[in-house]
Chain A
Amino acid sequence: MKREFEYPINDNNVMNHLVSNSSKADKFRYMISVLVIALSVSLIMSFAMLASGQRRVEMAMQEGRAQITVFGMTVQQYDTIKQQAEVSWVGIRTPITNTTQGNIQLKTYYIDETQLKKEDRESQLKGSLATGNQQVVVQQEMLDALKKENIKVGDTIFLNLDGLGGKGYQISGILTNNRTGNGTIRIMPNYYQVYISKDYAQNLIGESLKLYCDVRLNTDSISQSEVIRMAKNVLAKVNLSTDNIILSNNYFTVLGRLSDANDMTWLYAALLALFFALLSGGVIYSIFYISVTGKVRAYGQLRTLGMTIKQVQKIVRKEGTQLALQGIPLGWIIGGLLGYFLIPMGFRAGDTLLWAFLSGIFVFIAVHISMRKPAKIASQVSPIEGFRYSAYTGKQKATRKIQRPLVPGNLAIMNLGRNKKTTILTVSMMSFGAILILGIASVGISISGLAYAKYWYFPNSQFQLTINETIPTVLDDTATAEDTNLYMLKNSVIQQKNNPLNEQLISTIRSMDGVENVTTVSGFSSFIQTSTGSGGSMSNNSVNYTLTKDQFDMIKAAIIIGKADWQIFSKDNGVLIADTLINTPFNPLHYSVGDKIKTTMLAKDEKVIEIERPVMGVFSADKLMQMKVLPNSPQFLMARDAAQNIMGLRNDTVNLEVKVDSSKEKEVQSNLQNLVSLNRNIRLQSLSDTAKEQQAKYDSAVKLLTSLAVILFIFSLINFINTSFTNIRTRRREFGLLQSVGMTQQQIRKMLQTENSFYVIASTISAVVGVVIGAAFCKYLDASQHCILYQLPIRILMLFVACLIILHILMGFFASLNLKRESIIDRISISE
C-alpha cells in the first residue's frame, strides 16, 4: 500500500546546489581530493601507456627486421632474389678483407644503402656511401684512434685494406657513432670497420665475390619452419639451398618473447591498476572520512530540516561523483602527456583512448567504493546527534589517571589519540611507504650483477673462451633425426674435428701482457631428454663438464645425495646432477638418484649415439660454485675418463678460463677480441659483459619497485598533509580557548609541531626499519643468489629524512601562518 506522503520527488536541483556549496566551503579538501583522483588516473594511464608503448616499439622494430642472412650469393643471384614477390627487401653486408695497420685491425665491408637504412644508421652517416675504387666510408672512432680527428669528408686517408701495404683513399663518408646491440656492430677497441663500394670489393676479391645479404621475407610469421619453407622456395629459384642461410636469432627470440609476454603484461597491468586504485581509494576514504565526521553537525541540521537518510547518502555520493568527474579528465591530461613523453615512439591514439577509458572507469569505481562508508556514517547522523556533536568531542570515557602532565608535547599525544583511526591510517601508510622505499633502496644499491656473474659464471677468471656454437646450418621440416642431433651437437663436432681451444691458443694467450693464468676446463656438449614430473619431457642442450679424480675429490663435499665413489662413477658412466634439477615443489624436473638419464652425444668418428647414464649423486649447485672448481654453474658432471672413452677425444677442452691482472683488463680484452676475430669457432665471454647483462635485469626490476614505493609514499604524504591541515582548521576554536586560558602561541606551535613530529619520527623509524629489513633481505638473497655487495643506503636515508624535515618545517610554517591570521576572539567565536 502506498503511504500517504510517498510521492516522486525531483531533488536534483537542491542536491546539486548543496554539493556545490559544500565543495566551495572546503576548497582545500576539494582540491586535494581532485588531485588524488587525477594522480591515480594519470599513474594508471601512464604506466599502461608505457607498457603498451614499449611493446609497440619492439614490434615496430621487428617489423622491419631481417629474418634470415643468406651467404655465398653471386651478384646475379642477388639481383634475381631482390625481384621475388616473396621478398620484401634485401640488404648487403659482405665482409671483404681483414687487415692490420699498426696496432689496429681493419675489417672491410661492402654495405649497400638498404642495409644501412635497415640498421638504423642512415642518420649517422655524414657524406655518402663509397663509389669506385678510391672511396671509403670510415668510422669516426677510427679517425680518433689514428689521431686524425680533423680529417673531413673529401679528405684522403692512407689505409691498408688490401693487405699489401695499402694506399690513399678519399673519404666519401664518416659514420659518427657505432651502435651496440641489435645485431649490428659492437664497440671493440682497436677494431674498426671500413666500408667500400661493390666495384672495389669485386676488385679486391676478384670474380668470386660472394655476397652476405640480410633478407626480409613478406611474412610476419615467427615460426622458424614457415620462414625456412618460404626461404627455400625463393632460394630454389637461384639454385641455392637452405645450407646458405642463417636464421636471425634476434628476430625469432624477440618476437617469441613479445608474444609470450602478452598474458603476463595484462596480469601486471591489472595488478598495478589495482595497486593505484587501492592507494587512491584509501586516501579518498580517509579524506572523506575526516570531512564527514567534521560535518556531522551540518548533516544533523539537514536531517532536522527534513532530509531523509537516502538524501544524505545521495549528497555524499554526488560529491564523490563531482570530484571524480573533475579529477579524472585532469588525470587523463597528465597521464596522457606523461605516457607520451615517457615513450613517444610507442604512442598510439587508439591505445591511449582505451587506457583513458579503462583508468577512468577503474578510478570512478574506486572512488565510489571508498565513499560508501563515509556516506553511511553521514546518513546515520540523527538530528539530535548533529546538534550535540562536535568534530573534536574527545573521549567519552573517563580517564584512568587523574592527571597527565599538561605540557605541549603531552597535549599533542592526547590530540593524536582523538581520532585513532585516522592517525593509525595515516601513520601506517607513511610507515609502510618508508619501509618499502628504504628496503628497496637497500637492495637496489647492493644488488650486483658483478657479484652474481663472478659467483655463478666466472669464479676463477675475468674471461672465458668457449667453442663457438654458431655455424651456418639450418634445419627444416625435411631434416632427419640424425641431422637434428648433429645440429644440436655442433660444438662437439668442432671439438672432435679440430678443437680450437688448443695448446697453441693457450700459449698465445699466456704470452699476452697482463694474463696471469689460463686454465682448461674439460667437457662436452650433449643433448638430454629430461622427463618432467607431469609426464612430459623437455630437451636440454647443455655442456657436461667432466671431472678428474682430483677434481672429484675436491667437490665431494658438495654432493648432498648419493654415494661418492669414484671407481663406480668412472666405470659406469655415472652422472652427478645439480640440486636445481631434482623434483621439488617449485621444480617440475623429475630426477632422483638411481634414475637413468638418456643422453645423446657424439661418439668416435662423428657418430651420434644415445646412452643411458645412471644418476649417482646430487650436488648442491651453490656449494659447488663456492669451491671454485668449475665455471658456469654446471648441471651435469661426468668422469673425464668415461667421457673421453666414449667420444675418443684427444683434446676435451670445452672452456678456457683466463685470469688477468685487473689493471690490464681492458688491454687483455682487446687482445683477446682480436684473437677471437680470427677464428669464428671461438667465442669470448667476459665477466664484465655478463655482469652488465645481469645488472640490467636487476636494475629494471629495482626501478619499477622503487617507483611503486615512491608513489605509495606520495599518496601517504598527501593523506598526511590533508589530515594535518584539516586538523589545524577544525581545531581553530580550541586553539582560541587554549590561548584564552593562557597558552602562548609558541606553546600551541610546539604542540602542533609535536603532533607532526610523531608522523615524521614514525616515518624515520620506519625508514631505519626499512634499512634493516633491506639488509636482512640482502643477506637472504646473498645466501641463495650470491648477488649482493652490501652497501648501507646512508645517502638515500639522509635524503629521505631531509625531505621529511623540510615537510615538517613547511607544516610548522603553515600552522604559524594560520595562527597569526586570526585573533583569539575570532577563534573563540567560531561556532562548531
Chain B
Amino acid sequence: MSILETSALTKIYDNGTNAVVALNDVNLQINEGEFVTVIGASGSGKSTLLHMLGGLDKPTSGSIKVENKDLSKMDDNSLTIFRRRRIGFVFQNYNLVPILNVYENIVLPVELDGAHVDKFLFDHVIQMLALEEQLKKMPSQLSGGQQQRVAIARALISKPAIVLADEPTGNLDSQTSQDVLSLLKTTSHDFGQTLVMITHNNQIAQLANRMVHIEDGKIVDGSSPEN
C-alpha cells in the first residue's frame, strides 16, 4: 500500500535574477515498510526531494501525499505538528540540540507534542542502539557514531510513518557507517517503518529494497515499486 506519493512535484529556487529548477515534475511512490535509497550526483536534487517529502520545504507546484494527507496544502503549524508525529529525520551532521542531554534529545519530538514517551518503545530503541550508558551525557561528549545513533533514536521515538535519512553516514568512518546503516535498517524493519535514505554511495544504496536515481531534478529510475 502506498504511504508516500508525489505527483508532478516541482521546486524552483528563484532569487529574482536566477531561477534554478531543483526538482522537475517528480512522480514518486513509496509503499509502507519499504526501504528506498535515493542516489544521484551532487546538486541533482536528492536533498531537495527529501526536504519536500519531510515537509521541511514547500513545492513550487505539484503535491506530496503522506498517508493520504497532502503536505503542500498544510499551513506551517499543521505541517510542523504532522512532521513531529509522522516523520522522523536523520541528518548527515546529526543536528542534536547542544543544550540537551542524550535522553532529552531523543524524547524532544514527543515532549514538544505534549505526549508521553512510550517507555517500552524507548527502552527497546536505546537497547538496540546501545545508548543505555549515554543517556545523561551531552552531545559534545559523544563520538560521531554515537551522536548519529542518538539521532536515529530520536527519529524512531515518535513512531513515525516514515524515517527520512539524509546521508546519515556521510561524516562517519566505514566501520561506524556499517553499524549505523544496519541499525537503521533493523530498527525501521522492526518497527514497521518506511525508510527513505539519500546517499551517493552505490554500495550503501544496494542495501535498499529499491533505488531511486535522480538526475538534474528528475527521477530517471525507480519512481515506483513496480519498476
Q: Which residue of B lies closest to A411 (CB)?
A: B99
Known: A395-B138, A396-B138, A746-B77. A406 touches B107 (CB 8 A): yes
Does residue A403 face the partner (Cβ distance < 8 Å to B)? yes
Q: Scoring B residues 43 to 72 as 1 if CB is less than 8 Å from chain A, else 0, what string do you get? A: 000000001001011000000000000000
A394 engages B95 (CB within 8 Å): no
Interface size on A, residues (CB 8 A): 38
Residues of B within 8 A of A739 (CB): 80
Stretch at the interface among B108-116, B172-180, B207-215: B108-116
- Which residue in A394, A405, A407, A418 is a CB contact (below 8 Å) of B139? A394
Does residue B137 face the partner (Cβ distance < 8 Å to A)? yes
Residues of B within 8 A of A398 (CB): 101, 136-138, 141
A740 engages B98 (CB within 8 Å): no
**Distance from A820 Cβ to chain B, minimum over Cβ atoms (Å):** 10
In the bound complex, CA of A403 to CA of B136 (Å): 8
Residue with the highest number of chain B CB atoms closer than 10 Å, among A390, A393, A739, A741 = A741
A742 engages B113 (CB within 8 Å): yes
**Distance from A598 Cβ to chain B, minimum over Cβ atoms (Å):** 78
Stretch at the interface among A101-109, A599-607, A687-695, A822-830: A822-830
In the bound complex, CA of A790 to CA of B108 (Å): 53
Contacting A at CB under 8 A, from B92-142, are 95, 97-101, 103-104, 107-109, 111-113, 135-141
- Which residue in A396, A407, A825 is a CB contact (below 8 Å) of B111? A407
Known: A397-B138, A402-B136, A407-B111. A741 touches B99 (CB 8 A): no
Residues of B within 8 A of A395 (CB): 99, 138, 140
A747 engages B112 (CB within 8 Å): yes
Stretch at the interface among B81-89, B186-194, B216-224: B81-89
In the bound complex, CA of A737 to CA of B139 (Å): 14
Does residue A738 face the partner (Cβ distance < 8 Å to B)? yes
Residues of A within 8 A of B91 (CB): 737, 740, 828
Known: A399-B136, A405-B111. A740 touches B89 (CB 8 A): yes
**Distance from B118 Cβ to chain A, minimum over Cβ atoms (Å):** 15
Residue with the highest number of chain B CB atoms closer than 10 Å, among A396, A418, A743, A823 = A743
A392 engages B85 (CB within 8 Å): no
B99 engages A415 (CB within 8 Å): yes
- Which residue in B98, B104, B112 is a CB contact (below 8 Å) of A403? B104
In the bound complex, CA of A80 to CA of B40 (Å): 114
Does residue A610 face the partner (Cβ distance < 8 Å to B)? no
B154 engages A741 (CB within 8 Å): yes
Known: A390-B98, A828-B91. A744 touches B81 (CB 8 A): yes
In the bound complex, CA of A390 to CA of B96 (Å): 12
A740 engages B95 (CB within 8 Å): yes
Residues of B within 8 A of A402 (CB): 101, 103, 135-136
A399 engages B101 (CB within 8 Å): yes
A744 engages B138 (CB within 8 Å): no
Known: A406-B107, A741-B89, A828-B95. A414 touches B112 (CB 8 A): no
Residues of A within 8 A of B137 (CB): 398
Does residue A734 face the partner (Cβ distance < 8 Å to B)? yes
Does residue A662 face the partner (Cβ distance < 8 Å to B)? no
Known: A402-B135, A403-B103, A823-B57. A740 touches B83 (CB 8 A): yes
Contacting A at CB under 8 A, from B4-62, are 51, 54, 56-57
**Distance from B140 Cβ to chain A, minimum over Cβ atoms (Å):** 5
B98 engages A393 (CB within 8 Å): yes
Residues of A within 8 A of B138 (CB): 394-399
In the bound complex, CA of A30 to CA of B101 (Å): 35
In the bound complex, CA of A285 to CA of B138 (Å): 29
In the bound complex, CA of A746 to CA of B104 (Å): 20
B77 engages A744 (CB within 8 Å): yes
A404 engages B81 (CB within 8 Å): no
B140 engages A743 (CB within 8 Å): no
Does residue A584 face the partner (Cβ distance < 8 Å to B)? no
A825 engages B57 (CB within 8 Å): yes
**Distance from A391 Cβ to chain B, minimum over Cβ atoms (Å):** 10
Residues of A within 8 A of B85 (CB): 742
Q: Scoring A residues 359 to 399 as 1 if CB is less than 8 Å from chain B, else 0, what string do you get? A: 00000000000000000000000000000001011111111
Does residue A745 face the partner (Cβ distance < 8 Å to B)? yes
In the bound complex, CA of A98 to CA of B49 (Å): 104
B89 engages A406 (CB within 8 Å): no
Residues of B within 8 A of A406 (CB): 100, 104, 107-108, 111-112
Residues of B within 8 A of A825 (CB): 51, 56-57
**Distance from B60 Cβ to chain A, minimum over Cβ atoms (Å):** 13
- Which residue in B97, B109, B140 is a CB contact (below 8 Å) of A734? B97
Looking at chain B, what size class is its interface with the partner chain?
35 or more
Residues of A within 8 A of B139 (CB): 394
Residue with the highest number of chain A CB atoms closer than 10 Å, among B57, B97, B140 = B97
Residues of A within 8 A of B81 (CB): 742, 744
**Distance from A733 Cβ to chain B, minimum over Cβ atoms (Å):** 8
Q: Scoring A residues 729 to 767 as 1 if CB is less than 8 Å from chain B, else 0, what string do you get? A: 000001001111111111100000000000000000000
Residue with the highest number of chain A CB atoms closer than 10 Å, among B77, B104, B158 = B104
Contacting B at CB under 8 A, from A402-439, are 402-407, 411, 414-415, 417-418
Residue with the highest number of chain B CB atoms closer than 10 Å, among A398, A400, A745 = A398
**Distance from B142 Cβ to chain A, minimum over Cβ atoms (Å):** 11
**Distance from A410 Cβ to chain B, minimum over Cβ atoms (Å):** 10
A404 engages B104 (CB within 8 Å): yes
In the bound complex, CA of A825 to CA of B81 (Å): 17
A742 engages B112 (CB within 8 Å): yes
Residues of A within 8 A of B83 (CB): 740-742
Q: Which residue of B lies closest to A392 (CB)?
A: B98
In the bound complex, CA of A390 to CA of B147 (Å): 15
In the bound complex, CA of A397 to CA of B136 (Å): 9
- Which residue in B77, B109, B140 is a CB contact (below 8 Å) of A741? B109
- Which residue in A396, A737, A747 is a CB contact (below 8 Å) of B140? A396
Residues of B within 8 A of A403 (CB): 101, 103-104, 107
In the bound complex, CA of A414 to CA of B139 (Å): 15
Residues of B within 8 A of A744 (CB): 76-77, 80-81, 112
Known: A398-B137, A402-B135, A825-B57. A741 touches B84 (CB 8 A): yes
In the bound complex, CA of A394 to CA of B135 (Å): 16
Q: Which residue of A lies closest to B151 (CB)?
A: A741
**Distance from B75 Cβ to chain A, minimum over Cβ atoms (Å):** 11
Residues of B within 8 A of A407 (CB): 111
In the bound complex, CA of A376 to CA of B199 (Å): 43
- Which residue in B80, B98, B111, B154 is a CB contact (below 8 Å) of A394? B98
Residues of B within 8 A of A396 (CB): 138, 140-141
Known: A734-B97, A734-B98. A740 touches B136 (CB 8 A): no
B56 engages A740 (CB within 8 Å): yes
In the bound complex, CA of A405 to CA of B117 (Å): 12
Residues of A within 8 A of B140 (CB): 393-396
Known: A414-B99, A418-B99. A742 touches B109 (CB 8 A): yes
**Distance from B54 Cβ to chain A, minimum over Cβ atoms (Å):** 8
Residues of B within 8 A of A746 (CB): 77
Residue with the highest number of chain B CB atoms closer than 10 Å, among A392, A399, A402, A745 = A399
B101 engages A741 (CB within 8 Å): no
Q: Which residue of B lies closest to A738 (CB)?
A: B97
Residues of B within 8 A of A823 (CB): 56-57
Q: Which residue of B lies closest to A407 (CB)?
A: B111
Residues of B within 8 A of A737 (CB): 91, 95, 97
In the bound complex, CA of A390 to CA of B139 (Å): 12
**Distance from B127 Cβ to chain A, minimum over Cβ atoms (Å):** 16
* Nearest 7 CB-CB pairings of A with B: A742-B84, A394-B98, A406-B111, A737-B95, A398-B136, A394-B99, A742-B109
Please list 14 pairs of residues, one from A and one from B, whose beta carbons are closer than 8 Å in the complex, sorted by A's number: A394-B97, A394-B138, A396-B138, A398-B137, A398-B141, A406-B100, A406-B111, A417-B99, A740-B56, A740-B95, A741-B84, A741-B154, A747-B112, A828-B95
Given contacts A403-B103, A740-B56, 12 further A-B contacts (CB under 8 A): A394-B99, A394-B100, A398-B138, A406-B108, A417-B99, A418-B99, A737-B95, A742-B84, A742-B85, A743-B80, A823-B57, A828-B56
